[in-house]
A and B are shown apart, each in its own frame.
Chain A
């Protein structure tokens, strides 16, 4: 089965990492600009609401602090997502009652009140976001990484610490749930 095999570090990322190692601070800016938005989307999908930028920053600071140990044969993007996911999990564990951090539970969903605040023109998008919010945490992570970020099952498995087969099963279960919600 053909599948995206972009599991190695993007050559552009590798070049920027090399520039940063040689002291070019601008390289850090370019790397942040390349990955910050997708990291932010992913972090938001994990239930973080008000501190997305803070988690993104922590992710980059930790990643750059360990960049000497980063193995270029793996994907920088996958590595960043793994760090971000671990940071979010640590935060949720540390303070489940924090007001602007939503615990990642199966019952979490966007309220109808939230949906009504959206414009009519975004009705389809709102309904899809609702469908994704209603997924289980694992399904939501897999669906977000697969559909929004275009990650391969191999990359998803690396980020989530499970197998490609498990990622594929979660994806198809998520797709079935989304379809059912849209068809209601």
Chain B
């Protein structure tokens, strides 16, 4: 198979067989190929090569599209909730500092949500009254999460949700659990309470505040 000396025509042959040339170029190439055996043979070769290479691997486009949409959905959901989450963290940290000052133990008759941001340490927030102690610990930072009921440590048999690693490491189930916990914590008033030097824990005063 010989090469036609008209390199400009040969250059356009792939575009010609794909139909992407402008009308003027189409007319030029078509007229040339009609009287040039070498270019006609090369065009036939290109068509055959295109057909030979057209065999694409089987691809599940639906699965790929689902992966694309799933990848977008998770960050969007977190972005939507992030202001509320940040507010909760701030409230929780403030309350913990006011109420516990970093160490005092409290009674076990209060439902507690312990939220560890991995940045500012853990904050323990009473969110209920006299129900048996429950602890929900959520760690969204790199530090190890902990579920601690003040005064007694982590108790066996109590519902605990402890997750380690970054938030991007969470699988769907873990993420849903986290969002569910945060939804529950939203019962806490958004307003930051007035600083109180000393506040009894687990009393009606506490319940009134929260």
Please indicate whether A and B come from the same complex rather than being unrelated chains.
Answer: yes
- A residues near B, CB below 8 A? 1-4, 6, 25, 28-29, 32-33, 36-38, 40-41, 43-45, 52-53, 56-57, 60-61, 64-65, 124-126, 128-129, 131-132, 143-144, 146-148, 150, 152, 168, 172, 175-176, 178-179, 182-183
Chain B residue, CB-CB nearest to A146 = B14
What residues of A have a CB within 8 angstroms of the CB of B42 in the complex? 175, 179
A57 and B71: CB pair below 8 A? Answer: no
A41 and B14: CB pair below 8 A? Answer: no
Cα distance, A150 to B158, chains bound together (Å) = 64
B14 and A61: CB pair below 8 A? Answer: no
A52 and B69: CB pair below 8 A? Answer: no
A61 and B8: CB pair below 8 A? Answer: no
Can you name 7 extra interface pairs (CB under 8 A) apart from A29-B62, A43-B57, A53-B57? A4-B15, A4-B21, A53-B60, A53-B63, A53-B64, A57-B63, A61-B67
Q: Residues 176-190 of chain B: 1 if any A CB is under 8 Å from the residue's CB, otherwise 0? A: 000000000000000
Identify the 4 closest CB pairs spanning chains A and B, nearest first. A150-B18, A2-B25, A125-B52, A29-B65
A60 and B48: CB pair below 8 A? Answer: no
Asked if B72 is at the interface (CB within 8 A of a chain A CB), the reply is yes
Cα distance, A6 to B15, chains bound together (Å) = 11
Question: Do A132 and B68 form a contact, CB below 8 Å, given A2-B12, A2-B21, A182-B1?
Answer: no
What residues of B have a CB within 8 angstroms of the CB of A38 in the complex? 56
Asked if B78 is at the interface (CB within 8 A of a chain A CB), the reply is no
What residues of B have a CB within 8 angstroms of the CB of A183 in the complex? 1
Cα distance, A128 to B51, chains bound together (Å) = 10
Cα distance, A40 to B59, chains bound together (Å) = 8
- Interface residue total, chain B, C-beta cutoff 8 A: 43
Asked if B53 is at the interface (CB within 8 A of a chain A CB), the reply is yes
Q: Which residues of chain B (131-173) have a CB below 8 Å from chain A?
A: none
What residues of A have a CB within 8 angstroms of the CB of B57 in the complex? 40-41, 43-44, 52-53
Q: How far is the CB of A45 from chain B (nearest CB, A)?
A: 7
A125 and B8: CB pair below 8 A? Answer: no
Q: How far is the CB of A59 from chain B (nearest CB, A)?
A: 9
Cα distance, A148 to B51, chains bound together (Å) = 8
Interface centre among B10, B42, B55 (most CB of A within 10 A): B55
Cα distance, A41 to B25, chains bound together (Å) = 28
Q: Which residues of chain B (70-94) have a CB below 8 Å from chain A?
A: 71-72
| Contact among A52, A64, A125 for B71, CB-based, below 8 A | A64
Chain B residue, CB-CB nearest to A29 = B65
A176 and B20: CB pair below 8 A? Answer: no
What residues of A have a CB within 8 angstroms of the CB of B69 in the complex? 25, 28
B20 and A57: CB pair below 8 A? Answer: no
Cα distance, A52 to B38, chains bound together (Å) = 36
Could you write out 27 A-B pairs with CB less than 8 Å apart? A1-B11, A2-B21, A6-B20, A25-B65, A25-B69, A28-B68, A29-B65, A32-B61, A32-B64, A32-B65, A36-B64, A41-B56, A44-B56, A53-B59, A60-B65, A61-B68, A64-B68, A125-B48, A125-B52, A128-B48, A147-B53, A148-B53, A150-B15, A172-B10, A175-B42, A179-B45, A183-B1
